[in-house]
Structure 1
Amino acid sequence: MPTSTTVHRPTTPPTVWLARGRHTGTATAEDVIRGTLQRHKDSGALRDHLELPESAHPGERVVEARWEVADGSVTVRARLALADASDTGRQWTLTAEAEQPWDMRWPSPATMFWPSDPDAGWDHHAGTELRFRDVNPLPADDKELRRVLRAAARDPWSVHVVVHEAMTPDAVGRRPLAPLLPPGLRHRVVEHRATPQQLRAVNWALREFDVQVPRGGAVVLPGAPAPAGHDSAAFSVRSVFLDRGEPVELIDALTRFVATPRPLPDGAEDALTALREDWHLLTLEEELARERALVAMYADALEAMTKSRDLYREAAEHAHEALAAYRDSAAVLPAPSGPPSQETPTGSPLQQLTRTFERLKVNARSRRAGPADDQDAGTDGSGS
């Protein structure tokens, strides 16, 4: 059965294009990106780009770019974050968002930052030696084959497709399918190729994910977490002709899979938030709108502070009035008769005031009862 997770992640918006890879080329990744962006800007394919200073995001280099698609009617903003160098190269994360739902026929955001020549070395899968734009033959060893496919079936960032060769293909059939895919899919899809005799081992390895590869066909792996209600049969193709003809059914399956609501992979939510909220490549109109928003925010904050101050002042005035009224009422009360109490007054002023009234009542009753008692005593004396 497909693996599942109890963590509820936000769904990837249909306007967002995500990819993650690794640069292993000999040239410096920053130089490659700068050169590619400048060429696109000179040709008019790119409106503008901006490389943020190193101090802005310690541990990574961030580059922003903006361009238009759909004959200039839709703006795309993209952010590429390049991690520090490691023994396995430079990991990159590319997040792009358009003003409309993404059309896979639009240019790939990856080609705006990276060159399209096959030897550029930027198109490696982030965690493995797999390539995005090349055929990745499955290992001959069954144990290694299972390891590769299980990792591919759980990968949330890339789209993995397994193609089975019904018979050993010729040189044309051994070419990758990536150039035949729509531009928006070419740098997100990892193609795994199984030889004719590997079909049983492949399906055995994928059995735990409820996925099977048809003989001579292909299947799109679900990723982890799998989309809600994922049906592997809906993304399975019964035949893929490796003759360089357009793989219509496979393209349809990949396009439908990418269009399904899928949870954001780990790290993608932060990348998307940075694209939306930490954007620096602003047009003049956007800068003006941002300043107006800041002014409105400050005005609201000032108004809230003023209201709070007025409410506090009004409460203080009421408190002073109540205290003055209490003092006036305490001044007109008569002093209690009898010896002063040795007890230290305790309780609130209201309790002390209540006790004073009680003592006054007791003294009044005592004065009224005194003469009557004397009269009764005199009568009794005369009669004896």
Structure 2
Amino acid sequence: MPTSRTVRPTLPPTVWLARGRHIGPDPQDVIRRRLQHLKDAGTIDDHLEPETETEGGREPLFEARWRVSEGVTVRARLTIAADSGGGHEWVLTAEAESPWDQRWPSPATVFWPDAADTGWDHDAATGLRFRDVNHLPADDKAMRRVLRDAVRGSWAVNVVVHEAMTPDERGRLPLARLLPESLRHRVVEHRAAPHQLRAVNWALREIGVQVPRGGAVVLPGTPAPPDYTGDDFSVRSVFLDGSEPSELIDALTRFATSPRPLPDGAVDALTALREQWQLLTLEEELARERKLVTMYAEALDAMTKSRDLYREAAERAHEALAAYRESAAAVSEPPHPPAAHPTSPFQQLTRTLERLKSTAKARRPAPDTQDERGPDPSEH
């Protein structure tokens, strides 16, 4: 069974997803007429064809809003893009205000006519039809390719049903007609002939599941649900006699409503539905305008606070610059000579007396030399 290391968001219980291919002409005109017809009949509340521009030009886009049981509102968005095969691939995303009930009308029949001869109900990955019996190819390689594409690229719920014996006219009818309305355009039924059981199970080995003889198995998508096992979504016996296959319907419903990882591209489609929705009621428009006013007021308040903080920071920067200039000027001036150590009055008096003593010594007369020799002896 294929696995993926990348953790993806799971399918919300309120969301209905489908991706298909339209092989007829003028799909936009078919959708416009269908939506207007349902609005005139009061089946839907309103619809809109918003103007959208992409790098490749204008992309057809349609929105519709309606109510189901107990007044639950459903919003749906459908986009169309031309493919390389001359057809158009479409993506339909719908979300309700409460968990999706498979008994509700299918969003597909809101945008597309609910007729058997229309060309919109083809699976985008395999090219097989949603509401028909799709017999598996007799060639083993072609069979493996179909089953591989069904698992790896399809948004649909793919189920393989094995015919225990060649069915009668009632058994050859598609099982989709017996499914709840919201499942009919999401299920691709692959039918294996009685002699193909071994080849089918050989092809399913790489997927990790097996189909019981005369039974059915719901194939995992890519990435597979974390708790998926083939035994949980296989049915031992499917009676192709026109009766309701309750076990198979239960398995399909459980798989469709399980928290499966969203396939490639589904995250973008769901985000666009939630964030780019344009078909608003008057109350929704008023609420949006109030939200915008609140957002602008908060942005203006943030800008005002930022301006005040900037002004305060600028003032502090100027003060710091002025202080720096003053300190730089003080450092550049020549240093003053150090002041003489103060002298006490006692020290001054001592120094004065020493000077006077030195002066007195200098002025004292020299002693008489005669006195030094003694009396003259001739005088006696």
TM-score bucket (shorter structure): 0.7 to 0.9
Match of 1:186 in 2: 184
**TM-score (structure 2 length as normaliser):** 0.85
Comparing 106-115 with 311-320, which one deviates more in the overlay?
311-320
Match of 1:9 in 2: 8
**2-structure distance, mates of 1:35, 1:88:** 22
Q: Using the TM superposition, give the Cα deviation of residue 332 of structure 1 relative to its aligned residue in structure 2, in angstroms.
A: 5.6
**2-structure distance, mates of 1:69, 1:180:** 21
Match of 2:366 in 1: none
Compared CA separation, residues 364 and 89, structure 1 to 2 (3 A): same
**1-structure distance, mates of 2:162, 2:332:** 106
Q: Using the TM superposition, give the Cα deviation of residue 308 of structure 1 relative to its aligned residue in structure 2, in angstroms.
A: 0.7
2:292 pairs, out of 294, 298, 302, with 294
Asked if 1:28 is matched to 2:26, the reply is yes
1:253 pairs, out of 251, 254, 264, with 251
Q: Using the TM superposition, give the Cα deviation of residue 125 of structure 1 relative to its aligned residue in structure 2, in angstroms.
A: 1.2
Secondary structure, aligned partner of 1:233: coil
**1:56-77 deviation line (CA, Å, top 9, x unaligned):** 7835200000000113x21000
Q: Using the TM superposition, give the Cα deviation of residue 42 of structure 1 relative to its aligned residue in structure 2, in angstroms.
A: 1.3
Compared CA separation, residues 335 and 88, structure 1 to 2 (3 A): closer
Compared CA separation, residues 153 and 325, structure 1 to 2 (3 A): closer
What amino acid is the match of 1:10? P
What amino acid is the match of 1:131? R
Match of 1:48 in 2: 46
**1-structure distance, mates of 2:288, 2:208:** 49
What amino acid is the match of 2:135? P
Comparing 187-196 with 37-46, which one deviates more in the overlay?
37-46
* Structure 1 stretches lacking a partner, 5+ long: 338-359, 369-384
Q: Using the TM superposition, give the Cα deviation of residue 31 of structure 1 relative to its aligned residue in structure 2, in angstroms.
A: 1.3
**2-structure distance, mates of 1:171, 1:141:** 25
**1:65-119 deviation line (CA, Å, top 9, x unaligned):** 0000113x21000000011364341110000000111110110000000011100
Q: Using the TM superposition, give the Cα deviation of residue 333 of structure 1 relative to its aligned residue in structure 2, in angstroms.
A: 6.1
1:325 pairs, out of 323, 337, 344, with 323
Match of 2:362 in 1: none
Match of 1:137 in 2: 135
Match of 1:347 in 2: none
The structure having more radius of gyration, on CA atoms, is 2
**TM-score (structure 1 length as normaliser):** 0.84
After the TM superposition, which residues 301-312 of structure 1 pair with which residues of structure 2 at under 5 Å, given as runs? Answer: 301-312=299-310
* Contact residue 137 and residue 194 of structure 1 kept, 8 A: yes
**1-structure distance, mates of 2:85, 2:324:** 80
Match of 2:344 in 1: none
After the TM superposition, which residues 96-245 of structure 1 pair with which residues of structure 2 at under 5 Å, given as runs? Answer: 96-245=94-243
**1-structure distance, mates of 2:332, 2:161:** 103
* Structure 2 stretches lacking a partner, 5+ long: 342-380
2:92 pairs, out of 63, 79, 94, with 94
Comparing 60-69 with 2-11, which one deviates more in the overlay?
2-11
Q: Using the TM superposition, give the Cα deviation of residue 143 of structure 1 relative to its aligned residue in structure 2, in angstroms.
A: 1.5
Match of 1:60 in 2: 59
